[in-house]
Copies of this chain bind each other. A is one copy, B any other.
Amino acid sequence: ISLDLGDPSAGRLDGKMREKTLTMDTLNPQVKAVEYAVRGPIVLKAGEIERYLEEGGTKPFSEVIKANIGDAHAMGQQPITFLRQVVALCTFPELMDSPSFPEDAKWRARRILQGCGGHSLGSYSASPGVECIRKDIAAYIEQRDEGVPSDWENIYLTTGASDGIMTILRLLVSGKDSSRTGVMIPIPQYPLYSAAISEMDAVQVNYYLDEDNCWALDINELHRAYQAAKQHCQPRVICIINPGNPTGQVQSKKCIEEVLHFAYEENLFVMSDEVYQDNVYAPDCQFHSFKKVLYEMGPEYFSSVELVSFHSTSKGYTGECGFRGGYMEVINMDPEVKAQLVKLLSVRLCPPLAGQAAMDVIVNPPQPEEHTFKQFHQEKSSVLGALAEKAKLTEQILNAVPGIKCNPVQGAMYAFPRIFIPPKAVEEAKALGMQPDMLYCLRLLEETGICVVPGSGFGQKDRTYHFRMTILPSIEKLNVLLGKVRDFHISFLKEYSGLE
């Protein structure tokens, strides 16, 4: 074979042009159908603007503020010292001899390492995770749920919650099924759900949250959506996000009972995304786990409804997104199916060990009698206190803007305000082949440097428009951000109402 075959534009040796194997025409169409707005076109645009500014370009603003994604550390939140100490000790056990690391962290790290092959974070764990971490998680759940039993063999560590959600859906969804699998999801939703449904070729069954009632889940709407879906698919799964993403509501116990009763009656598999369980700010709200409510509904329910609950290191007060830690608790799954789940997990070997260790600290934090408790507690309270303050601030400032209406941010990390977009702007967006709130968010980004995600990326009722913003920037930056949103919105209204 010759080493110089000439100009590639001259085509193949035999004169034919060689075509690519993988093109937009041959790409798996289910991949093409996937959408994920949280890192979509608006975020790519934000990156472009950032590079432009770095290279000395000028804009009416000096920095891009990324309020598009729940990435707490990127917004300046400091890690919880104790968590990082434990993970560092696990990573570099020579630090066990260092007097600057507390004993409370050392015994946790030692215990985790004893559960690892060769006592090393560099070994694979069993596919469901390190055994002692699974046990700590079960103990944590029992305590959280005031004694409702939790079996550690029902706990599976995951690579962030997203990985767990995808895995469970993979069990439930068969793309080839002629009566295709319906997956009920809230609208607005976190777009991981719609993306997974597209990728797996399931049928997305929307149930709409009630914006006029603080984004509460309405049981009548669940019935409506289910009955409508049954005309064209087999609804088999209901997904719940509580506290809500992007909507920030916290479900009442009564609402959860209704959902579980509905799932019981209609034989639905319940997937409960509870990654924001530690993020509740409204004084009149409280997190109720689906599992505890199921238990309290009695043994007939607790022994039969198939329920998976997801948690994560990425949210709460730790915000450790980069560790990709998480777990799921699987209740009432058929034992044979569970063996299949373990098999499926084993193909990817195991979740990252540092993420498993981080998860362990979250479920097994310093106790009041430990020396590290005071600092840990201060750091935790400081993060959660600031989030509560920012939740309130965001709601207040947005609601003072004409043409913006924002439900209270009861929990999670986002505001999802409704925005009035004048008919002329809606027309202009349509002419551009764009959702009206995409036009709005692009203009907001280009004029102010603020990056938020259009409501159309999460789903919303027809002819309503929203955006999702995180409440993660510091109070100072959040004030600046909200002020800019207000000014932008007022001038946007003026421009498109012909009032200029």
Binding site for B on A (CB under 8 A): 1-8, 10, 12-13, 18-24, 26-32, 34-36, 38-40, 69, 71-77, 79, 84-85, 87-88, 91-92, 95, 98, 100, 116-118, 120-125, 127, 159-160, 162-163, 166, 170-176, 192, 195-196, 199, 201, 236-237, 257, 261, 264, 267-269, 296-304, 306, 318-324, 332-334, 336-337, 340, 343-344, 346-355
Main secondary structure of the interface of A (DSSP, over half): loop
Q: Are A162 and B297 in contact (CB under 8 A)?
A: no
Q: Are A124 and B337 in contact (CB under 8 A)?
A: no
Chain B contacts of A353 at CB under 8 A?
322-324
Residue of B nearest to A66 (CB): B117
Chain B contacts of A10 at CB under 8 A?
300
Q: Separation in Å of the A372 CB from the closest CB of chain B?
A: 14
Q: Are B175 and A24 in contact (CB under 8 A)?
A: no
Q: Are A117 and B347 in contact (CB under 8 A)?
A: no
Determine the distance from Cα of A268 to Cα of B26 in the docked complex, in whole angstroms. Answer: 13
Q: Are A71 and B1 in contact (CB under 8 A)?
A: no
Given A192-B347, A322-B350, A71 and B124 contact (CB-CB distance below 8 Å) = yes
Q: Are B36 and A122 in contact (CB under 8 A)?
A: no
Residue of B nearest to A95 (CB): B88
Residue of B nearest to A351 (CB): B324
Given A8-B299, A31-B344, A174-B30, A306 and B354 contact (CB-CB distance below 8 Å) = no
Determine the distance from Cα of A118 to Cα of B34 in the docked complex, in whole angstroms. Answer: 29
Residue of B nearest to A174 (CB): B28
Q: Are A298 and B27 in contact (CB under 8 A)?
A: no
Q: Separation in Å of the A6 CB from the closest CB of chain B?
A: 7
Q: Are B323 and A121 in contact (CB under 8 A)?
A: yes
Determine the distance from Cα of A28 to Cα of B172 in the docked complex, in whole angstroms. Answer: 6
Copies in the complex: 2
Given A124-B321, A300-B8, A159 and B352 contact (CB-CB distance below 8 Å) = yes
Q: Are A267 and B5 in contact (CB under 8 A)?
A: no
Q: Are B162 and A120 in contact (CB under 8 A)?
A: no
Determine the distance from Cα of A237 to Cα of B21 in the docked complex, in whole angstroms. Answer: 9
Q: Are B306 and A21 in contact (CB under 8 A)?
A: yes
Chain B contacts of A195 at CB under 8 A?
347
Determine the distance from Cα of A7 to Cα of B300 in the docked complex, in whole angstroms. Answer: 7
Q: Are A348 and B162 in contact (CB under 8 A)?
A: yes
Given A8-B303, A298-B5, A299-B5, A123 and B21 contact (CB-CB distance below 8 Å) = no
Q: Separation in Å of the A11 CB from the closest CB of chain B?
A: 8
Determine the distance from Cα of A195 to Cα of B26 in the docked complex, in whole angstroms. Answer: 22
Chain B contacts of A236 at CB under 8 A?
21-22, 26
Chain B contacts of A347 at CB under 8 A?
34, 36, 162, 192, 195-196, 199
Determine the distance from Cα of A233 to Cα of B170 in the docked complex, in whole angstroms. Answer: 25
Pick the residue among B1, B166, B304, B322 that contacts A8 (CB under 8 A): B304
16 sample A-B contacts, Cβ–Cβ < 8 Å, listed by A number: A3-B297, A5-B297, A18-B304, A29-B174, A31-B170, A34-B347, A36-B346, A39-B343, A39-B349, A72-B123, A122-B320, A160-B348, A196-B347, A199-B347, A352-B355, A354-B354
Pick the residue among B27, B95, B176 that contacts A175 (CB under 8 A): B176
